[in-house]
């Protein structure tokens, strides 16, 4: 059963709650309720979560670059092999 509760907020937070309420077609009270429901003091901060994600992204990027470099090397070796097959004397005969 809902009960009335009065809280003091500064003008900035009041304007923000009203703006969010209008944007979400709800009341400022509902904005405060949603904020309370999503609050978890034991949850990692957003910055910590982003740091973990960034670290994982850097690691994936490093592995992808290494795989790409190996693939490029293989392509160069394959092209060199077929170039030598089509010109048995090697590249010196081209000049």
- Residue 67 lies inside a defined structural domain of this protein: yes
Domain that holds residue 81: 46-94
- Residue 1 lies inside a defined structural domain of this protein: no
Location of structure tokens 């170039």: 83
Q: For the whole model, what pTM was predicted?
A: 0.45
Q: Is 42 helix (H, G, I), strand (E, B) or coil?
A: coil
54 and 23 belong to one structural domain: no
The answer to whether 20 and 13 are in contact (CB under 8 A) is: no
50 and 88 belong to one structural domain: yes
51 and 35 belong to one structural domain: no
Q: What domain count does the chain have?
A: 2
The answer to whether 21 and 28 are in contact (CB under 8 A) is: yes
Per-residue pLDDT reduced to its tens digit, 40-84? 887 777 788 889 999 999 999 999 999 999 999 999 999 999 999
Please tell me the total number of residues recorded for the chain in this structure.
95
Longest dimension (CA), the chain: 93
> Above 70 in pLDDT, residue 93?
no
CA dist 81 and 90 (Å) reads 10
Write down the pLDDT at residue 56: 97
């Amino acid at each position: 059963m809902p009960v009335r509760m009065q809280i003091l907020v500064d003008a900035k937070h009041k304007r923000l709650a009203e703006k969010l309420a209008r944007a979400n077609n709800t009341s400022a009270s509902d904005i405060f309720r949603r904020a309370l429901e999503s609050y978890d003091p034991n949850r990692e901060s957003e910055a910590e979560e982003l740091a973990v994600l960034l670290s994982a992204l850097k690691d994936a990027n490093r592995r992808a670059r290494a795989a790409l470099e190996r693939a490029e090397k293989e392509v160069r070796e394959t092209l060199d092999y077929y170039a030598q097959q089509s010109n048995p004397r090697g590249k010196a005969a081209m000049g």
